C-alpha cells in the first residue's frame, strides 16, 4: 500500500480537506484507485459545522462529505479515525487481558492501534471495485503542534519508517499571508510549521501553500531553501472562483507527477483525464442566471452547519444552468417576538422570504426558531411557493398543517412540548433513549417504499419503487394521526418497510410541497444532483412540469 499523508500548519481552516480530496481526484484521473482515511454525533453545529452521515450510520465531520462528493465513493465509519475510538479499542483490549497485565502506554499501545487501524481499513475497497486501493490518502486532523494529534503524528512517523520511503508521501498545507502596505508574501509562518513537523520526525515531500494570490517565484525559492523541499514540489493553492478548480490547479502544477515520483508509481499511471471535471468547473463560472432560495434555519450564523445542503443546492442549480442565490434567514427573525424587539430585522426577514423563488427548511434539533419555521412553511403552503422540508423541516410542515387546516391549535412535537395537553403529531421514536444523546438516533441508509407512482417524488426518482437515503433523527410523524391528515389533503407518499414510519409527504394541487424524514443532501453529487433538490430548483425556476413530462417516465 502507498500512503499520502496531508497535514496542516499555522492555522486551521486552510482547506486541508479540500486539498486531500483534490489529490484523490487527481490520482483517480491518473488511473489509480485512491482511498481516504481520516464520533462526531453530538458536536455543536455552531462550533464544528454539520455532522455528515454515512450509509452505515457513521456520524463524521464535514470533510468526509467533501471526500464522498469529490471522488463519488461511499465511505464507512471506519474511514474516520478519532482519538476516542482508538483509546476505547485499547482500553477494551486491556480489560480483556490482551496485554497480559503490562502497563498500557501511548507508545507503543495507542500508536500501534492507530497504525493497525490505518493498515487494516486501507485494503477495504470503497468504490465498488474488487481489490484494495492503490493509494491511501490520510488527512491528519487539526494543526501541527496540537497536543491532541501528538499520538497520531508519532504513529504516522512510525508508519512512514516501516513502509519505506517509496511508499510514503507527505504533503504539508500551510499559509502564506500578505502583511502591510508593501504586500510582501511572508514565508516565516510556514518555515516554523515545517520546523515543528521535522522536530516530530516527519519531513514534507511537497508543500501546498495557501494564499490569496499566486505565489511569486522569489517566495517559492525562499520556501524551497528554508523548508528543504524542491522548488518543483512547492504547490500553490491560491483563491479560485470555486473549489472544483483546485484539482485543476494542482494538475497544472504537475502535482501528480511529484506525488507519483515520490511513490514510484510513474510507470503505471496515465496522464490525468480531467475533461469532465474541467467542464463542470468552467460551466459554473460561466453561469449568469440565478434562482433565489430562502434557507430558513437555526444555525445560519455558521453556514458550514448546512454545508451538504448548500452543496446539494449547488449541484441542482448547475443541472438547471442556474447559479444558487441563497438567502439565509434565521428562523427566529420571522417570529412575533422579533417583531416587538427588533422590528427592522423582522421586516427584513419577511421581505427576504417573500422575494424568494423557493423555500427550504433543513434539519435541526431543539425548539429555538421552530415558530419561525412553522410560519415559513405556512407561507410557502398558502402562497404556492415551492417548499422542501428536510427531517425537522418535514415535521414542521406536519405541525403547521395540523394547526392551520385541522384546527389543532396545540399540535406539536414531543421534542418541543411533551405535556399531556398537546396533540403530539410528532412523537419520540419507540426504540430511542431519552437520556443518552449520542448514538441513539435512527442513522444511516434506510429504504423508503413509494406508495404511489402518481406523485412528484416518484417521478423525480424516475418511477422507482423505493429510494435508499440516509437518516439522522430521533422523532417521527405520529402514525395515529396519518388518516386524519390524509383526509384533508396531506399525502404520505413514502413509508418505511414496516409501513408505520412516514418518510415522504406531498401536498397535491401545489407546485412543489415536499417533506422528507431523511437527508437527501448527503448523497448528492456534482454530476448526480439529489432528485428532491433538483425538483425544488426546477419548481422555483418554473421548469418542473416540463422536466417531469420528459424524465418522469423512468427515462
**Phi and psi torsions of 388, nearest 5°:** -130, 120
Cα–Cα distance for residue pair 312/315, rounded to 1 Å: 5
Instruction: For the chain, state the CA radius of gyration.
Output: 25
Cα–Cα distance for residue pair 533/315, rounded to 1 Å: 8
Q: How many CA atoms lie within 13 A of 555 on its CB side?
A: 7
Write out the three cell numbers for 210. 495557501
Q: Are 377 and 405 in contact (CB under 8 A)?
A: no
Cα–Cα distance for residue pair 356/38, rounded to 1 Å: 39
The per-residue DSSP string of 429-449 comes to -TT--SS--TT-SEEEEEEEE
Q: In the 8-state DSSP scheme, what is residue 180?
A: T
Cα–Cα distance for residue pair 214/178, rounded to 1 Å: 12
Write out the three cell numbers for 502. 412516514
Query: CA separation (Å) from 131 to 1, 21, 23, 127?
Result: 12, 21, 21, 10
Nearest to 362 by CA among 456, 455, 296, 417: 296
Query: CA separation (Å) from 35 to 25, 74, 246?
Result: 10, 10, 18
Active-site hit among 320, 358, 391, 455: 391
Q: Is 346 a catalytic residue?
A: no
Q: Is 476 a catalytic residue?
A: no
Cα–Cα distance for residue pair 104/336, rounded to 1 Å: 58
Q: Which residues contact 383 (CB under 8 A, 6 or more apart)?
A: none
- Name residue, grid cell 517565484: 217
Q: Is the peptide bond prior to 108 cis by the omega test (within 30 degrees of 0)?
A: yes
Cα–Cα distance for residue pair 8/470, rounded to 1 Å: 31
Q: Are 55 and 97 in contact (CB under 8 A)?
A: no
Cα–Cα distance for residue pair 143/174, rounded to 1 Å: 10
Cα–Cα distance for residue pair 489/270, rounded to 1 Å: 58
Q: β-pairing, 290-297 with 184-185? A: unpaired
49: left (phi over 0), alpha (psi -120 to 50) or beta: left
Q: Are 357 and 281 in contact (CB under 8 A)?
A: no
Write out the three cell numbers for 359. 423555500
Q: Which residues contact 258 (CB under 8 A, 6 or more apart)?
A: 205, 206, 232, 233, 235
Active-site hit among 315, 424, 510, 519: 519
Q: Is 521 a catalytic residue?
A: yes
Q: In the 8-state DSSP scheme, what is residue 66?
A: H
Write out the three cell numbers for 50. 454539520
Q: Are 191 and 228 in contact (CB under 8 A)?
A: no
Q: Are 199 and 191 in contact (CB under 8 A)?
A: no
Catalytic residues: 391, 519, 521
Amino acid at each position: 500500500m502507498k500512503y499520502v499523508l496531508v497535514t496542516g500548519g499555522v492555522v486551521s481552516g486552510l482547506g486541508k480537506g479540500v486539498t486531500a480530496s483534490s489529490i484523490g481526484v487527481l490520482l483517480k484521473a491518473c488511473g489509480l484507485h485512491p482511498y481516504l482515511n481520516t464520533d462526531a454525533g453530538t458536536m455543536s453545529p455552531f462550533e464544528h459545522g454539520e455532522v455528515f452521515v454515512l450509509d452505515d450510520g457513521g456520524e463524521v465531520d464535514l470533510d468526509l462529505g467533501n471526500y464522498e462528493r469529490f471522488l463519488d465513493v461511499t465511505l464507512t465509519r471506519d474511514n474516520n479515525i478519532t482519538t476516542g475510538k482508538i483509546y476505547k479499542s485499547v482500553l477494551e483490549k486491556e480489560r480483556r487481558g490482551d496485554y497480559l497485565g503490562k502497563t498500557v502506554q501511548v507508545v507503543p499501545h495507542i500508536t500501534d492501534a492507530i497504525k493497525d487501524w490505518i493498515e487494516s481499513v486501507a485494503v477495504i475497497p470503497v468504490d465498488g471495485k474488487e481489490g484494495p486501493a492503490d493509494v491511501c490518502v490520510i488527512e491528519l486532523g487539526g494543526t501541527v503542534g496540537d497536543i491532541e494529534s501528538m499520538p497520531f503524528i508519532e504513529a504516522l512517523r512510525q508508519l512512514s519508517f516501516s513502509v519505506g520511503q517509496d511508499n510514503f508521501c507527505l504533503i504539508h498545507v500551510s499559509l502564506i499571508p500578505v502583511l502591510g502596505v508593501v504586500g510582501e508574501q511572508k514565508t516565516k509562518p510556514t518555515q516554523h510549521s515545517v520546523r515543528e513537523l521535522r522536530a516530530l520526525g516527519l519531513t514534507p515531500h511537497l508543500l501546498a501553500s495557501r494564499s490569496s494570490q499566486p505565489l511569486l517565484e522569489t517566495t517559492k525559492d525562499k520556501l524551497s531553501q528554508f523548508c528543504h523541499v524542491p522548488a518543483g514540489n512547492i504547490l500553490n493553492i491560491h483563491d479560485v472562483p470555486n473549489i472544483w478548480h483546485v484539482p485543476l490547479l494542482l494538475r497544472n502544477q504537475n502535482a501528480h507527477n511529484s506525488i507519483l515520483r515520490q511513490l514510484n508509481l510513474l510507470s503505471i499511471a496515465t496522464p490525468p483525464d480531467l475533461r469532465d471535471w474541467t467542464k463542470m468547473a468552467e460551466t459554473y463560472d460561466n453561469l449568469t442566471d440565478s434562482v433565489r432560495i430562502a434557507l430558513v434555519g437555526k444555525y445560519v450564523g455558521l453556514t458550514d452547519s448546512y454545508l451538504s445542503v448548500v452543496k446539494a443546492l449547488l449541484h441542482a442549480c448547475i443541472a438547471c444552468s442556474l447559479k444558487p442565490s441563497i438567502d439565509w434567514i434565521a428562523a427566529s427573525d420571522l417570529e412575533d417576538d422579533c417583531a416587538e424587539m427588533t422590528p427592522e430585522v423582522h421586516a427584513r426577514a419577511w421581505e427576504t422570504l417573500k422575494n424568494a423563488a423557493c423555500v427550504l427548511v433543513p434539519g435541526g434539533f431543539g425548539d429555538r426558531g421552530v415558530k419561525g419555521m412553522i410560519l415559513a412553511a405556512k407561507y410557502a403552503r398558502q402562497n404556492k411557493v415551492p417548499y422542501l422540508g428536510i427531517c425537522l423541516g418535514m415535521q414542521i410542515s406536519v405541525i403547521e398543517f395540523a394547526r392551520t387546516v385541522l384546527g389543532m391549535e396545540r399540535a406539536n412535537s414531543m421534542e418541543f412540548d411533551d405535556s399531556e395537553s398537546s396533540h403530539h403529531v410528532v412523537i419520540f421514536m419507540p426504540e430511542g433513549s431519552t437520556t443518552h444523546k449520542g448514538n441513539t438516533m435512527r442513522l444511516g441508509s434506510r429504504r423508503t417504499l413509494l406508495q404511489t407512482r402518481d406523485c412528484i417524488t416518484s417521478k423525480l426518482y424516475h418511477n422507482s419503487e423505493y429510494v435508499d437515503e440516509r437518516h439522522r433523527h430521533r422523532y417521527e410523524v405520529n402514525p395515529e394521526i396519518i388518516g386524519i391528515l390524509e383526509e384533508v389533503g396531506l399525502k404520505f407518499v413514502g413509508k418505511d418497510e414496516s409501513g408505520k414510519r412516514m418518510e415522504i409527504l406531498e401536498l397535491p394541487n401545489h407546485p412543489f410541497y415536499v417533506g422528507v424524514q431523511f437527508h437527501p443532501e448527503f448523497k448528492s453529487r456534482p454530476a448526480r444532483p439529489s432528485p428532491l433538490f433538483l425538483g425544488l430548483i426546477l419548481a422555483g425556476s418554473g421548469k418542473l412540469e416540463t422536466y417531469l413530462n420528459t424524465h418522469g417516465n423512468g427515462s
